[in-house]
C-alpha cells in the first residue's frame, strides 16, 4: 500500500491519513501534513513560484493538475506499484511536493530526507525513481561511495536549474538513465524530459502536451496539467517538431550588444572551462549592462572576492576560446550570490550587489 520512510521510521499511508504519528522535526512534520491533506482528498493547494527571474508569487493549483502530472511521469517511465522513490528535494516547493504526490499516487515507498548536497551519503537503498538538482548529482558523482550508488538508480530526473556541460558529459559517460527536466510551477513540475546522452539536449514532451513558438521563438505550452489553456513562456527554443525541442535560454536574459544577440545560457558553459582553472569551481553568470555605444555590454559576474589580477588572467584565457564579440567587456565580483527559495541564482539581485 505504500509508505513514507523517515530515518528508518515507517509511516503507512493509512497512518498518515489519520494523523497518527509521533512528534517530528518541523521539516518532516510539514511534509507529513501535506501528505495527510492529499490522502484525505484536499482539492486545492497553494504553491510558490521560484522567483528566478523576478519576484516569487503564490499560485493556486488543483488536485487534478497534480494527478495528471504524476500519471504522465508514471506512464513515461513505466513505474510499477511498490516502487522505491527518493525524495531529497525541498518539499515546500513544487518539485519536492510532486515527489510526495507521485509516491502516494503510485503506491510507492517514499524515502524522505532533508535536502542536502549529497543525499545518498547515508543511504544504501536501490531506488526505482529519484529527482535531484544538478548540485546534488555533481556532489554524489565526486564521492567514490555515492558514485557507485548513483549507478544503481534506475530512473533519475534532474531539474531546478540547467546542468553544466561537464556534468552532462559525465552522466553520459557513466550511461546513467538520467533525464533533464523542463517545466515550471504553473505546470506542476515538468512537461518535457531530455535523455542525457551528451552535452546537447533534446526535450520530448510528455503524453498529452502540445507545444509551439511565437514570432520570437518563445515556447508556448498547452498541457492538461496547466490551468491556462495556453501558457506562454519566456524561454527561447529551437522547435524540431510537434514533440521535440532544444532549449536555448531565457528571452529576458538575452543580451543585445551592438545588434548582436548573445544568449548567456549558451555562452556560460563554454566559459566554464576557462573560469574554473583560474577561480576554482565558482558560480557565475552573464548579464547585459546598459552601454551608450553598444546598447548593452556583456558583463561576467563571478561569486568570488574581488581579484583584478585573476580577472585579467581570465580575459586572456577567454579570448582564446571565444569570438571577439563574445568576450565579456567587464568582470564583476560578488562574494555571495543571492539565491531564490529553490536554490537558483537570482541574477538581478546578485548583479546589483556585485563589486
Q: Are residues 36 and 171 in the same domain?
A: yes
pLDDT at 53 over 60: no
pLDDT at 342 over 70: no
pLDDT attached to residue 52 = 44
pLDDT attached to residue 37 = 95
More confident residue, 7 or 245: 245
Q: Are residues 285 and 178 in the same domain?
A: no
More confident residue, 254 or 50: 254
Tell me what the mean pLDDT of segment 214-237 comes to.
Answer: 92
Domain end, chosen from 207, 234, 263, is at 207
How far is CA 237 from each of CA 191, 214, 218, rounded to the nearest angstrom? 15, 10, 6
Per-residue pLDDT of 291-317, as tens digits, reads 888 889 999 999 999 999 999 999 999
Give the integer Cα–Cα distance in Å for 58 and 222: 21
* DSSP 8-state assignment for residue 208: T
CA-based angle 21:27:33, to the nearest 5?
Answer: 45
What confidence category does residue 160 fall into, taking pLDDT thresholds of 50, 70 and 90?
confident
Q: Are residues 170 and 294 in the same domain?
A: no
Contact 120, 150 (CB under 8 A): yes
131-155 burial, b for 16+ CB within 10 Å, e for fewer?
A: bbbbbbbbbbbeeeebeebbeebeb
Beta bridge partners, 180, equal 158, 194
Q: Are residues 29 and 126 in the same domain?
A: yes
Q: Are residues 180 and 314 in the same domain?
A: no
Q: Which residues contact 279 (CB under 8 A, 6 or more apart)?
A: 302, 304, 307, 310, 314
Q: Are residues 300 and 158 in the same domain?
A: no
Q: Are residues 158 and 260 in the same domain?
A: no
Q: What is the domain-level CATH number for residue 179? A: 3.40.50.12780
Per-residue pLDDT of 102-145, as tens digits, reads 999 999 999 999 999 999 998 999 999 999 998 899 999 999 99
Contact 313, 302 (CB under 8 A): no
Contact 116, 89 (CB under 8 A): no
Per-residue pLDDT of 327-338, as tens digits, reads 999 999 999 999
Give the integer Cα–Cα distance in Å for 288 and 251: 12
pLDDT attached to residue 184 = 85
Domain annotation covers residue 116 = yes
Burial bucket for residue 194 (CB in 10 Å: 0-12, 13-18, 19+): buried
pLDDT at 155 over 90: yes
Q: Are residues 8 and 108 in the same domain?
A: yes
pLDDT attached to residue 54 = 46
Domain end, chosen from 207, 239, 262, is at 207
CA-based angle 323:325:327, to the nearest 5?
Answer: 75
Give the integer Cα–Cα distance in Å for 131 and 99: 8
pLDDT above 90 covers a percentage of the chain that reads 72
Ramachandran angles phi, psi of 300, nearest 5°: -100, 125
Q: Are residues 289 and 174 in the same domain?
A: no
What confidence category does residue 55 fall into, taking pLDDT thresholds of 50, 70 and 90?
low
pLDDT attached to residue 87 = 97
Give the integer Cα–Cα distance in Å for 135 and 158: 10
Q: Are residues 180 and 289 in the same domain?
A: no
pLDDT at 50 over 60: no
Domain annotation covers residue 348 = yes
Domain annotation covers residue 296 = yes
What is the domain range of residue 287?
Answer: 254-352
Domain annotation covers residue 249 = no
Domain count, the chain: 2
Domain end, chosen from 152, 176, 207, is at 207
Place of cell 515546500: 92
What confidence category does residue 56 fall into, taking pLDDT thresholds of 50, 70 and 90?
low
Domain annotation covers residue 272 = yes
Mean pLDDT of the chain: 91
pLDDT above 70 covers a percentage of the chain that reads 97
Q: What is the domain-level CATH number for residue 286? A: 3.30.300.30
State the pTM of this model: 0.84
Q: How many residues does the chain have?
A: 355
Give the integer Cα–Cα distance in Å for 308 and 278: 12
What confidence category does residue 8 fall into, taking pLDDT thresholds of 50, 70 and 90?
confident
Give the integer Cα–Cα distance in Å for 255 and 251: 9
Q: Are residues 262 and 170 in the same domain?
A: no
Contact 295, 257 (CB under 8 A): yes
More confident residue, 228 or 98: 98
Domain annotation covers residue 79 = yes
Domain annotation covers residue 233 = no
Tell me what the mean pLDDT of segment 27-47 comes to.
Answer: 93
Domain annotation covers residue 9 = yes
Among candidates 351, 268, 267, 354, which has minimal Cα distance to 305?
354
pLDDT attached to residue 49 = 64
pLDDT attached to residue 28 = 93
> Residue 146 corresponds to which cell in the numbers above?
555515492
Q: Are residues 158 and 46 in the same domain?
A: yes
Amino acid at each position: 500500500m505504500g509508505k513514507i520512510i523517515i530515518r528508518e521510521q515507517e509511516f503507512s499511508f493509512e497512518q498518515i491519513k489519520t494523523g497518527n504519528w509521533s512528534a517530528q522535526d518541523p521539516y518532516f512534520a510539514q511534509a507529513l501534513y501535506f501528505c495527510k491533506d492529499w490522502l484525505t482528498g484536499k482539492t486545492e493547494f497553494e504553491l510558490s513560484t521560484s522567483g528566478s527571474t523576478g519576484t516569487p508569487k503564490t499560485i493556486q493549483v488543483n488536485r487534478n493538475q497534480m494527478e495528471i502530472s504524476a500519471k504522465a511521469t508514471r506512464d513515461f517511465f513505466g513505474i510499477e506499484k511498490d516502487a522505491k522513490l527518493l525524495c531529497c528535494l525541498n518539499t515546500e516547493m513544487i518539485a519536492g511536493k510532486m515527489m510526495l504526490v507521485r509516491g502516494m499516487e503510485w503506491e510507492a515507498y517514499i524515502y524522505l530526507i532533508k535536502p542536502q548536497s549529497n543525499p545518498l551519503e547515508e543511504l544504501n537503498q536501490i531506488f526505482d525513481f529519484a529527482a535531484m538538482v544538478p548540485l546534488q548529482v555533481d556532489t554524489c558523482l565526486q564521492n567514490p561511495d555515492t558514485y557507485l550508488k548513483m549507478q544503481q538508480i534506475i530512473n533519475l530526473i534532474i531539474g531546478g536549474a540547467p546542468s553544466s556541460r561537464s556534468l552532462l558529459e559525465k552522466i553520459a559517460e557513466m550511461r546513467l538513465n538520467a533525464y533533464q527536466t523542463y517545466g515550471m510551477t504553473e505546470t506542476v513540475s515538468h512537461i518535457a524530459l531530455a535523455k542525457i546522452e551528451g552535452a546537447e539536449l533534446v526535450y520530448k514532451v510528455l503524453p498529452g502536451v502540445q507545444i509551439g513558438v511565437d514570432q520570437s521563438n518563445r515556447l508556448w505550452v498547452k498541457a492538461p496539467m496547466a490551468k491556462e489553456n495556453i501558457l506562454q513562456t519566456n524561454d527561447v527554443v529551437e522547435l524540431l517538431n510537434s514533440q521535440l525541442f532544444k532549449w536555448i535560454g531565457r528571452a529576458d536574459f538575452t543580451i543585445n550588444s551592438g545588434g548582436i544577440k548573445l544568449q548567456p545560457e549558451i555562452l556560460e558553459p563554454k566559459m566554464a572551462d576557462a573560469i574554473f582553472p583560474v577561480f576554482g569551481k565558482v558560480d557565475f553568470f552573464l548579464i547585459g549592462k546598459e552601454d551608450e555605444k553598444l546598447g548593452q555590454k556583456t558583463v561576467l559576474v563571478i561569486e568570488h572576492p574581488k581579484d583584478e589580477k585573476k580577472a585579467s588572467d581570465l580575459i586572456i584565457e577567454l579570448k582564446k576560446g571565444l569570438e571577439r564579440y563574445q568576450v565579456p567587456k567587464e568582470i564583476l565580483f560578488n562574494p555571495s550570490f543571492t539565491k531564490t527559495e529553490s536554490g537558483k541564482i537570482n541574477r538581478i539581485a546578485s548583479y546589483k550587489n556585485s563589486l
